[in-house]
Structure 1
Amino acid sequence: MDHAAHHPARAVATWAMAAQATLHCLTGCAIGEVAGMVIGTALGLHNAAIVVLSVVLAFVFGYALTMRGVLRAGVGLKTAFTVALAADTVSIAIMEVLDNAVMIAVPGAMDAGLTSLLFWGSLAFSFVVAFVLTTPVNKWLIGRGRGHAVVHAYHAHH
């Protein structure tokens, strides 16, 4: 094998591509975060358990959204899952650290309850922070043929 085979091709990565990839990941994260917060609060779980549940669901929904598009290209479930892992893991992980750090850092946000403007405002703000700080990471990843760049090969098959 030649040296080039060990390194993914560099792709042109625009800010628009990075923003779109980040928004895609953020959609799954937001669905999981909100579901985790609602379910955890409804069950009366401790804040730490709510955070864990939210993070797990953010990954589940984030991967599921990516897999849905890749499966439409006619690949198998195992390949779709592998593509989702490669495309989304770094982005979702960064967003989850940021989302939860903001929620924990805002005094009273985690204990404010689902009917509180403080809770929902803090959560919305955490999503903005996650989007702004993760977009440059996604641009860097796409430019190196990683992250959401791996998904584009499967979208081309439609």
Structure 2
Amino acid sequence: MADTTAVARDAYWAGEARGAVLHGLALFSLLLGIDGLSGQLTPRRALLWLALGALLALVLLPARISASADRLTARGLWREHTVRTDRLVSVRCVDGVAHRLVLRDELGGRVEIDPRVLVANPALWRLLDDAARVSARRGLLRCGGTALRRLARRIDGELAGAVFQVSGLG
């Protein structure tokens, strides 16, 4: 029986959020510097550059991902999306500019996450994988078994590589 009190969070979220803010500050500083050197800096333009830097930081800010034995939650700036992982009906990998994993449950919940978050956080992956297996045993998970197996192979491979690296065998 799974521990229903276990909660896992993205351990790297703070660093990624800090990186998003630093990128926004870098853009602001660069634009301010260019305007200052060209002699075109005005308070209005400085405010515009500040807004542009803040917008970049907001766009780059990742969702905060957390999981428990039966839920996975992605918290953005203004919205929170939750999916019941023990009631999953589909898991899809969406390829494009940014790879996304789209999870849907039978209650209509939908969460999109970057698969790299699961790769970097084995505790999150373990909770999701265990609950997805429950969904599959119940006959709910109709589509997505292949995507989960592919992700499991990737995560297991990276974990094995990390173990070999730490042990000096890799």
| TM bucket, shorter chain | 0.3 to 0.5
Query: Under a length normalisation based on structure 2, what TM-score does the superposition of the two structures give?
Result: 0.31
Query: Under a length normalisation based on structure 1, what TM-score does the superposition of the two structures give?
Result: 0.33
User: Quick check: which one's strand share is greater?
Assistant: 2
Q: Between the two structures, name the one with larger relative contact order (CA 8 Å, sep ≥ 6).
A: 1
Q: Larger radius of gyration, structure 1 or 2?
A: 2
